Amino acid sequence: MGDGSLSQDEIDALLKGADEVAAPSSVPAMEVSSSGGGLSPLERDSLADLINQSMSAVAPSLGAYLGKTVKITNAYVEVKSSNAVRADFNRQYVQVGMDFTGSLRGKNLILFGMNEAGIIASLMMGDDTGSSPPELSDAHQSTLQEFVSQMLSSCATQFADRKGGSVGTTPPTISISSGSSDLQLPAGAELVKITYNINIENMVNSKFYHILDLGLASELVRTAPSGGGGMQAHFAPQQQMTSQAMGAVGVSPVKFPPLGEGLPAGLGPNINLLLDVRLTLTVELGRTTMLVKDILGLGEGSIIELDKLAGEPVDLLVNGKLIARGEVVVIDENFGVRVTDIVSPAERIERVQ
């Protein structure tokens, strides 16, 4: 029209064109929200929150194993194809596999760099310096298995509490991966890769990795608290809430697991962790009781009569507790003791009590 105004037909045509332009823009938004395969961004954030909480609870017990302060933080969750995960680990790593059983089923694979693995193994074997060994012996690898077993078993206990079922674990397996082809990844076209920051005082400030199958990750997301996405409520220290208000917002009381809960089966009697502990062994020829005036009267050449007869077995004490008896022998001008009798467990328990 000559006066510059638009006819109704022209307005309808413009509106139709705007609809056609706006419609495609909604498709990429849908794709972005579902990126990461089977986990949406919200679900990945929820899984990261759950894992961070679990590792924060596990870290003190791991620190007790190492004798150092351990911090495991900033879990970063990615969903990647199996080939993409392999491409991420084309160097040498120590890999420890362990499955969840029961209410939660799926495979976990923990990956440590060689230096971090060596330091952790050395600390667990009693080397306070944490010097990484030139190569990981069978003993070093065994201690790493114990470390990962403690970590994942404790996590399994926490997941079981949330899910309301029983979650078990299989014995850990360990091997050294020299390249991506050696990785023993969980089955599946898509896998979940979790990257953690680990800090062990001033000895380790690095990362380690946790690979799990998508099915297990989805189950874990269902155990995570609702309203996730990394959003957490923060209250001022002075703010007080009545029980009625707490119920309205779904706040639950803190539940502490019993002491010792979360230790993997078989860890209690496993004495490998104690093999480097130093103990004092004492050989006792005999005892007697004397008055103070008699002790003050002792001099060179004095003879003290003991409560044992000549030829009677001597006692072997470990940290003051009787464990065995034996006879005195001489070896290359040095005194020694030949063990002739081991105290029974029942007798040892009686003495301790």
At 248-277, the pLDDT tens digits run 455 555 555 555 444 444 444 455 666 777
Whether residues 337 and 193 share a domain: the answer is no
Q: Could you give the C-alpha distances from 346 to 83, 271, 323, 349, in angstroms and in order? A: 58, 20, 11, 5
What's the angle, vertex CA 348, arms to CA 347 and CA 353, rounded to 5? 100
Q: Give the tokens for residue 222.
A: 């269902």
* Model pLDDT for residues 178-191, shown as the tens digit of each residue: 999 999 999 999 99
Cα 253 off chain centre by:
25
Amino acid at 3: D
- Of 198, 230, 262, the residue that ends a domain is 230
Q: Can you give the CATH number for the domain in which 87 is found?
A: 3.40.1550.10
**CA–CA gap between residue 305 and residue 287 (Å, rounded):** 8
What is the model's pTM? 0.56
Higher-confidence residue of 198 and 271: namely 198
Residues 166 and 302 in one domain: no
Report the pLDDT value the prediction gives residue 21, as an integer from 0 to 100.
43
Phi, psi of 71 (to 5 degrees): -125, 130
Q: What is the mean pLDDT of residues 230-242?
A: 42
Query: For residue 256, how far is the Cα from the chain centroid?
Result: 18
Tell whether 294 is covered by a domain: yes
Q: How far apart are CA 283 and CA 333, in angstroms?
A: 17
Distance CA 333, CA 190 (A): 71
According to the model, what pLDDT value does residue 209 have? Answer: 97
Do 80 and 225 sit in the same domain of this protein?
Answer: yes
What are the φ and ψ backbone dihedral angles of 329, each rounded to 5 degrees? -130, 165
Residue 280 carries which DSSP code?
-
**Residues 69, 176 within the same domain:** yes
What one-letter code names the amino acid at 280?
T
Asked if 306 and 178 sit in the same domain, the reply is no
Looking at the domain assignment, is residue 61 inside a domain? yes
Lowest mean pLDDT among 88-102, 136-150, 298-312: 298-312
Question: Is 244 part of any domain?
Answer: no
Query: What angle (nearest 5°) sits at the alpha carbon of residue 73, between those of residues 67 and 79?
Result: 130
Which of residues 6 and 185 earns the better pLDDT score?
Answer: 185
Q: How many domains does the chain have?
A: 2
Averaged over 148-155, what is the pLDDT?
Answer: 92
Q: Where a domain ends, among 205, 230, 255?
A: 230
- pLDDT grade, residue 199 (50/70/90)? very high
Rounded CA-CA distance 43/50 in Å is 11
Q: Which one of 195, 230, 265 terminates a domain?
A: 230
Is 198 contained in some domain?
yes
pLDDT of residue 272: 62
For residues 217 and 125, is the Cβ–Cβ distance under 8 A? Answer: no
Average pLDDT of the chain, as a whole number: 79
With H, G, I as helix, E, B as strand and everything else as coil, classify residue 132. Answer: coil
Question: Which pLDDT value is given to residue 69?
Answer: 92
What is the distance of C-alpha 36 from the center of its chain? 27
- 320 and 183 share one domain: no
319 Cβ neighbours under 8 A, 6+ residues apart:
279, 280
Which residues have CB under 8 Å from 236's CB, separation 6+? Answer: none
SS3 233: coil
Q: Is residue 242 pLDDT above 50, yes or no?
A: no
Q: Looking at residues 76-96, what average pLDDT do you find?
A: 94
β-pairing, 93-102 vs 334-342, is: unpaired
235 confidence band (pLDDT: 50, 70, 90):
very low
- 58 and 153 co-located in one domain: yes
Which stretches within 187-238 are classed as H helix?
Answer: 214-223
Surface-to-core class of residue 61, CB atoms within 10 Å of its CB (0-12 exposed, 13-18 middle, 19+ buried):
middle
Backbone angles phi, psi at 76, to 5 degrees: -115, 120
Gap between the Cα atoms of 113 and 119, Å rounded: 10
277, two tokens:
């502990």
Which domain, by its residues, includes 329? 281-352
The answer on 294 and 223 residing in a single domain is no
